[in-house]
Amino acid sequence: MNFVAIQMLLGDRIKYLGLVTAVAFSTFLMSHQSSIFAGVMNRTRSQILDVQDAGIWVMDPATQYFDEAKALPDQALYRVRSVEGVEWAVAMRKGTPVARAADGTFRTVILMSVDDDSLAGAPRHMLAGSLADLRQPDSLFIDRAAYYYFFPNQPFRTGRVFEINDHRVTVSGIFESSAPFTNLPIFYARYSEALKFQGRERNMMTYVLVKAKPGVDENTLCQRIARETGFHAMTTQEFGWATIDYYFKHTGIPLNFGITITVALLVGTLVAGQTFYIFTLENLKQFGALKAIGVTNWRITSMILLQAGMVGAIGYSIGIAMTAAFYEYFSKNVDLRGFFLPWQIATGTAGAVLVIIVIASFMSIRRVLVLEPAVVFRG
């Protein structure tokens, strides 16, 4: 009877296409929007995760997330260094000065600092220049997106000059960064240089980056640092999630995406469910004939589930392929880097489609099960 069920479904071309289209677009919207949402949220912690040398971030207890940090006093560094289990600790400054290129192009940039001596905290993926080039006086690294912005359509070349707060600085390296939430260019400089580039404030240190001694548990060390220094300490992962959490709770992003995703689910369910129900109603006479001929309710149920499942599987495949194609196509766009279709979202969307299909077929099955087979004799 599976053959009969499939023929019934394919026989009504228009409704079949309508059903598949509804599921496909619903799948596309849900998976696409969820992926963007996950990408946006993930971006808020990009600069935290990009610092790979240290495992622990120490900050003022008032600091809630990466982008807005209350500065630390200079002695914070020494207090952290004295904590048992700390392998090394270095000062780190994150600022947002304005950088101006020679042609006058200017933009606010995210300036991250690395340790003067060890270069701890430096970016890992160099596209031009090498890590040691950052030791040159008055030099900095800029990321690929920054290079494209300031020097569009030009091959990677170091030696270009910026002016930051009346200081002349030379680009000695170009690196790949994870895209930041704000899409600002990312610059890296040594800590002492970073201080020079910016107006003098009372406290200049934003974070202390800490590496735990081998064998020392990072979470335990975080607790010890907090206890002994009074500052707040988080592992890289914790700080990343804290930042995501902040954006989650304090911006309209989750709500807006949530609404879109919910609407996609609802519209998908309603359109697919209704079309499928109408499809079943129009075939009621056929189902009645099958029941009269001796097809059991159980077989009829499995026929309807097969029809709905087929619509779901084909619609989902088309929709998820559309999402995958979208991200594949735009993966070359520097501003959209970091956006992709995570398998968790592909799986979750499959679950949502399953819900759509179950609801859609539930109504139809109910209708057919209560159908009196005697209707076949009525005109």
The binding site for another protein (CB under 8 A) comprises: 1, 3-4, 7-8, 10-12, 285-286, 288-299, 372-374, 376-379
Residue with Cβ nearer another protein (57 or 287): 287
Supply the minimum distance, in Å, between the C-beta of residue 6 and another protein.
9
Residue with Cβ nearer another protein (101 or 292): 292
Q: How far apart are CA 235 and CA 57, in angstroms?
A: 6
Residue with Cβ nearer another protein (12 or 53): 12
- State how far Cα 357 lies from the chain centre: 28
Residue with Cβ nearer another protein (196 or 299): 299
- State how far Cα 117 lies from the chain centre: 34
Residue with Cβ nearer another protein (79 or 291): 291
Residue with Cβ nearer another protein (298 or 343): 298
Residue with Cβ nearer another protein (309 or 373): 373
Helix axis angle, 13-43 relative to 236-250, nearest 10°?
A: 120
Q: Using CB atoms within 10 A of its CB, is residue 150 exposed (0-12), middle (13-18) or buried (19+)?
A: buried
Supply the minimum distance, in Å, between the C-beta of residue 274 and another protein.
21
Task: Give SS3 for 164.
Answer: strand
| Nearest C-alpha neighbor of 186 from the set 132, 234, 149, 133 | 149
Q: Using CB atoms within 10 A of its CB, is residue 374 exposed (0-12), middle (13-18) or buried (19+)?
A: exposed
Residue with Cβ nearer another protein (12 or 238): 12
Supply the minimum distance, in Å, between the C-beta of residue 371 and another protein.
11
Supply the minimum distance, in Å, between the C-beta of residue 1 and another protein.
6
Supply the minimum distance, in Å, between the C-beta of residue 33 and another protein.
36
Structure-token pair, residue 200? 């003098």
Supply the minimum distance, in Å, between the C-beta of residue 259 and another protein.
40
Q: How far apart are CA 310 and CA 18, in angstroms?
A: 13
Residue with Cβ nearer another protein (220 or 296): 296
Residue with Cβ nearer another protein (18 or 123): 18
Q: How far apart are CA 276 and CA 5, in angstroms?
A: 13
CA-based radius of gyration for the chain? 29
Supply the minimum distance, in Å, between the C-beta of residue 300 and another protein.
10
Task: Give the list of residues 6+ apart from residue 342 with CB closer than 8 angstroms, or none.
Answer: 35, 38
Task: Count the Cβ atoms, other than its own, within 10 Å of residue 318.
Answer: 16
C-alpha distances in Å from residue 198, one per residue of 21, 102, 146, 237, 371 = 56, 19, 19, 29, 79
From first CA to last CA, the distance across the chain in angstroms is 25
| Nearest C-alpha neighbor of 139 from the set 99, 165, 168, 113 | 168
Supply the minimum distance, in Å, between the C-beta of residue 356 and another protein.
24
Task: Give the list of residues 6+ apart from residue 296 with CB closer than 8 angstroms, or none.
Answer: none
Supply the minimum distance, in Å, between the C-beta of residue 312 and another protein.
20
Supply the minimum distance, in Å, between the C-beta of residue 9 and another protein.
8
Torsion of CA 115, 120, 122, 125, to 10 degrees: 160
